[in-house]
Amino acid sequence: MDKVREKGRVVRALGAMSGTSLDGVDAAVIDTDGVTIHGFGPAGYLAYDAGAQSVLRAALGQWSGPTLPAAAEVVMQAHLDLLADFKDVDLVGFHGQTVAHAPRMHGTLQLGDGAALADRLGVPVVWDFRSADVQLGGEGAPLAPFFHFACAKWIGADAPLAFLNLGGVGNLTWVDPGLDAPQDPGALLAFDTGPANAPVNDLMQERLGIPFDRDGIIAARGQVETGALELFLAEPFFSRMPPKSLDRNDFAEMVALVRELGDADAAATLTAMCAAGVAQAMQHCPTPPTRVLVTGGGRHNPVLMQMLAVSLDCPVAPVEAVGLDGDMLEAQAFAYLAVRVARGLPTSCPGTTGVRAAVGGGTVSAPSLNTVSRTPAGPA
C-alpha cells in the first residue's frame, strides 16, 4: 500500500466498469500518478450472456429486495473472471454495477463488494466511488470528467473541447485544458445529456430478441416520428441547469412514445432522441467546444454519429481520432480515479456533479487484512 499512497509516484492501476447498457465488463490498465497519464496498458472485455443480462435487468431500479443478491453475484463473478487475467498491477478501481440512481432521494446504488474482490485478487481495491459525493450534495455522476481533463492534457488540446460518452445514458464533459487542475473553477462542466443506447437496446431486446441495433442498420431504414421527438424534448430535464444526472430508467416512457411505430421507425426515433438530447445539452457549455470527441458504444452507430454531425456546430469524431480507446475510456477512468482516491486527491467538484466543494470519495480495501481505509468525505 505504501507505493499506492505515495504521491507523485507512478503506479500501474487496473480499472473495471460495468455500464448501464448491461453488455458486459470492461477492464483496462493505465500508468498514472493520479494527475498525469503516463501510459496505457492492456485491456479486456467480458460479455454478459443472455442469462446474466436477464438477472441484471430484474435488479434495475431496485434499492432492496430478492433480485439484488443474484445480480450482485453475477457482477462479482464476471469481474473475478476478467480481472484475474491481469498481472502485475498495483491497484484496482472497481466501479461495480449501478442498478439505481436517485441522488436527491435515496442516493446511488452500485452492486459489488470491493473488500471481497481485494481478498480474491490479492490487490488493493478502490470502490464505492459515488457515495461521498452524494452525501455532500452532489449528483454522484458523472465521475469520468476528471479523467477527461487528464486526457485533454495527454492529447495536447489547447482549446475548449467536449467528451461525449454514449453508453446506456449519455453524458457530456466540457473541458478547458488551459487550466492547471480539474478542480480549478471553470476547468470542467459535466452532466448527463439524456438517454443514449438504453432505450434502443431495450426496444431491440423486447421486439426482436437482439441486444442492440448493430451499426444502426434498423434505424437506417426508418423515419423519425417528429411528434414523439417534440414530446421528448418537452421533458423538464432538458431545461434544468447542470450539473444533473439520470438513472437508466428515468426516461422509460420513451419506449411508450414509439409503441405504435414499426421497428425501423421506432429505432430511428429513439436514436434521434439521443442526438437531440446532446444538441440541447450543448447550449449549457460555457463556450462552444472546438470539437466533440465521442466515446462509448454509441460511436459505433453511424446513424447516430451522422445525426450528431448534422445537429452540432463543431466537428464530431470518435475518440480514436486522437489516439484514445473509446471502448475502454470509462474503465481507464476508474483506474485513474482509484489512484486519486488512494492519494487523497479530489475526484469530483462543483462543476462536475454539483457537490458543494471538491471532494475525494471512495473506499480503499486492502486484501486479507480485514481493514478498510476510507478517504475523508469532506472537502478536499
**CB of 107 within 8 A of CB of 54?**
no
Q: What CATH class does 2-142+329-374 carry?
A: alpha beta
Strands 161-166 and 91-102: unpaired
Confidence (pLDDT) at 253: 79
> What is the pLDDT at residue 226?
97
* Cell output for 102: 436517485
**Domain 156-322 coded CATH 3.20.20.70:** no
CA separation, residue 340 to residues 41, 64, 83, 325 (Å): 18, 31, 20, 21
Task: Tell me 58's DSSP state.
Answer: H
Q: Is the peptide bond before 243 cis (omega within 30 degrees of 0)?
A: yes
**What tens digit of pLDDT does each residue of 33-77 get?**
999 999 999 999 999 999 999 999 999 999 999 999 999 999 999
- What percent of the chain clears pLDDT 90, i.e. is strictly above it? 85
* Residue 356 confidence (pLDDT): 93
User: Do 2-142+329-374 and 156-322 agree at the fold level?
Assistant: yes
H or E segment at 131?
helix 131-135
C-alpha cell at 266: 421506432
Instruction: Quote the Cα angle for 289-235-299, to 5°.
Output: 45
| Contact yes or no for 129/123 (Cβ under 8 A) | no
Q: Can you tell me whether residue 334 is helix, strand or coil?
A: helix
The length of the chain in residues reads 380
Percentage of the chain exceeding pLDDT 70: 97
Does 317 score more than 60 pLDDT? yes
For 83-108, give one letter per residue: b (16+ CB within 10 A) or e: beebeebbbbbbbbbbbbbbbeeeeb
Q: Which of 162, 59, 157 is nearest to 112 (CA)?
A: 59
pLDDT of 212 strictly over 80: yes
Given a cut of 80, whether residue 1 has pLDDT beyond it is no
Which of 83-92, 187-196, 370-379 is least confident? 370-379
Q: Cα angle vertex 199, ends 196, 200, to 5°?
A: 90
Domain boundaries, the chain: 2-142+329-374, 156-322
Question: 111 versus 243: which is more confidently predicted?
Answer: 111
- Judged by average pLDDT, the poorest of 14-23, 83-92, 293-302 is 14-23
Q: How far apart are CA 177 and CA 159, in angstroms?
A: 6
Q: Per-residue pLDDT for 379 more than 80?
A: no
pTM across the whole model: 0.92
Check residue 369 and give its pLDDT. Answer: 57
